[in-house]
């Protein structure tokens, strides 16, 4: 490989964001390496769906195994490291709080430590989250809004976020955090409420499912398209100085409205099929999140390209195709 080729290492490469980021970096001429934790199920389907699987070099490793992270950095010789690996489902974090803390918190510190030991000049990106705001202290949340996480997931991500700041200030690493608000796509897992909704709308339309059971329909989130958000990740690591950035659309929408738009896409009235299951409410609810991405828009020249109706249409249409194969 030519020394002029830029190299990137992505943890969590088989997830939604990892797949879209891989495609973006490949389009920009990068050599892309991905850390792959071997599991019993096939996790590379998203990379295949985007048509990039054959162009990525996968390296066996795990966020909880520092030696494998050091090895991955030595093999990849990466100048940019994107830590997207996580136990990323908020609901699961109440059932597995210790694992969530280890993977999301300690795992991020392991990656930072590997960068410090192997290549301090490599630029590091940490996938932070709006769930760190939790019980939001202001109507819109930006980089200066106090954190108040309401789930073990949010707590674990806050640990990783502050570790990123600490490595930046203590060791001089070019380490940045993207505080991304909810971002979805046709590559979302079925455990996430947005994909659960779009999949169910199609299944009900096809007669394969009778009802959709959900928890808090009045919770509001700032939803964007993952394909847009990975562009902000890349832009952060191109800046002369590392920093933290909120990435969001600035529009909050309820779960109820998301249902309405998704069911409308297949010609159905959601009210006839969606029922509330009290068992799906979380122990501590996050009622409202709305991001202020002024800083990212001005410094990174980033803005979302995809509206929520466009995103929902994209997701529903993808599920229609999958269910009619």
In a domain, 71, yes or no: yes
Task: Verify that 155 and 205 share a domain, yes or no.
Answer: no
Q: Which two three-digit tokens encode residue 300?
A: 């990174």
What is the reported pTM?
A: 0.95
In a domain, 294, yes or no: no
Catalytic residue among 11, 129, 198, 306: 129
Question: Number of structural domains, the chain?
Answer: 2
pLDDT band at 287 (very low <50, low <70, confident <90, very high): confident
In a domain, 296, yes or no: no
Across the range 223-237, mean pLDDT stands at: 98
Question: In this predicted model, what pLDDT tens digit does every residue of 146-180 receive, in sequence order?
Answer: 999 999 999 999 999 999 999 999 999 999 999 99
Spatial contact of 275 and 200, defined as CB atoms under 8 Å apart: no
pLDDT at position 2: 46
> 185: closest CA among 229, 222, 225?
225
In a domain, 257, yes or no: yes
Task: Verify that 179 and 206 share a domain, yes or no.
Answer: no
pLDDT band at 261 (very low <50, low <70, confident <90, very high): very high
In a domain, 310, yes or no: yes
Q: Is 287 a catalytic residue?
A: no
pLDDT band at 90 (very low <50, low <70, confident <90, very high): confident
User: 1 or 216, which is more confident?
Assistant: 216
In a domain, 168, yes or no: yes
Lowest pLDDT segment from 23-27, 182-186, 227-231, 287-291: 287-291
Across the range 189-206, mean pLDDT stands at: 96
Spatial contact of 256 and 190, defined as CB atoms under 8 Å apart: no
Spatial contact of 125 and 237, defined as CB atoms under 8 Å apart: yes
Helices vs strands, H then E, count in the chain: 12, 13
Task: Verify that 230 and 283 share a domain, yes or no.
Answer: no
Task: Give alpha helix (H) positions in 188-268.
Answer: 193-205, 226-236, 255-265
Q: Is 131 a catalytic residue?
A: yes
Question: In this predicted model, what pLDDT tens digit does every residue of 47-81 receive, in sequence order?
Answer: 999 999 999 999 999 999 999 999 999 999 999 99
pLDDT band at 92 (very low <50, low <70, confident <90, very high): confident
Across the range 32-41, mean pLDDT stands at: 85
pLDDT at position 1: 41
User: What backbone torsions phi and psi does residue 199 show, to the nearest 5 degrees?
Assistant: -65, -45
Distance separating alpha carbons of residues 165 and 167, to the nearest angstrom: 6
In a domain, 299, yes or no: no
In a domain, 148, yes or no: yes
Task: Verify that 142 and 268 share a domain, yes or no.
Answer: no
Catalytic residue among 31, 131, 184, 231: 131
Across the range 79-92, mean pLDDT stands at: 91
Q: Is 294 a catalytic residue?
A: no
Across the range 282-297, mean pLDDT stands at: 91
CATH code of 128's domain: 3.40.50.720
Task: Verify that 110 and 72 share a domain, yes or no.
Answer: yes
CATH code of 195's domain: 3.90.25.10
Task: Verify that 97 and 210 share a domain, yes or no.
Answer: no
Task: Verify that 71 and 171 share a domain, yes or no.
Answer: yes
Task: Verify that 203 and 314 share a domain, yes or no.
Answer: yes
Task: Verify that 18 and 107 share a domain, yes or no.
Answer: yes
pLDDT band at 38 (very low <50, low <70, confident <90, very high): confident
pLDDT at position 3: 58
Using CA of residue 226, residue 13, residue 102, residue 143, what is the dihedral sign? negative
- Say whether 94 sits in a helix, a strand or coil: helix
pLDDT at position 284: 77
Provide the residue range defining the domain that includes 269: 189-221+251-289+306-323
Catalytic residue among 153, 167, 229, 270: 153
């Amino acid at each position: 490989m030519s020394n002029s080729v830029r190299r990137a290492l992505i943890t969590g490469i088989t997830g939604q964001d990892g797949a879209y980021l891989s495609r973006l970096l490949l389009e920009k001429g990068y050599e892309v390496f991905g850390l792959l934790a071997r599991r019993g199920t096939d996790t590379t389907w998203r990379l295949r769906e985007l048509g990039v699987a054959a162009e990525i070099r996968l390296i066996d490793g795990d966020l909880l195994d520092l030696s494998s992270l050091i090895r991955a950095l030595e093999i990849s010789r990466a100048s940019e490291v994107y830590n997207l690996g996580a136990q990323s489902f908020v609901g699961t974090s109440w059932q597995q709080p210790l694992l969530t803390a280890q993977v999301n918190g300690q795992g991020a510190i392991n990656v930072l430590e590997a960068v410090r030991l192997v290549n301090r000049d490599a630029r590091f990106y940490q996938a932070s989250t709006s769930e760190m705001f939790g019980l939001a202290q202001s109507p819109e949340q930006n980089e200066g809004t106090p954190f108040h996480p309401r789930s073990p997931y949010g707590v674990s991500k806050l640990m990783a976020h502050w570790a990123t700041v600490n490595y930046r200030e203590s060791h001089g690493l070019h380490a940045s955090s993207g505080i991304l608000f909810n971002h979805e796509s046709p590559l979302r897992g079925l455990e996430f409420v947005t994909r659960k909704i779009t999949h169910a709308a199609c299944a009900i339309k096809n007669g394969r499912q009778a009802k959709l059971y959900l928890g808090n329909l009045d919770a509001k989130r700032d939803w964007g398209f993952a394909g847009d958000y990975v562009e902000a990740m890349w832009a952060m690591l191109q800046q002369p100085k590392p920093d933290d950035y909120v990435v969001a659309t600035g529009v909050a929408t309820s779960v109820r409205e998301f249902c309405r738009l998704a069911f409308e896409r297949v010609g159905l009235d959601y009210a006839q099929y969606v029922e509330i299951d009290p068992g799906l409410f979380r122990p501590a609810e996050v009622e409202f999140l709305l991001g202020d991405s002024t800083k990212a828009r001005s410094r990174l020249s980033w803005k979302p390209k995809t509206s929520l109706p466009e995103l929902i249409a994209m997701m529903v249409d993808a599920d229609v195709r999958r269910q009619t194969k």
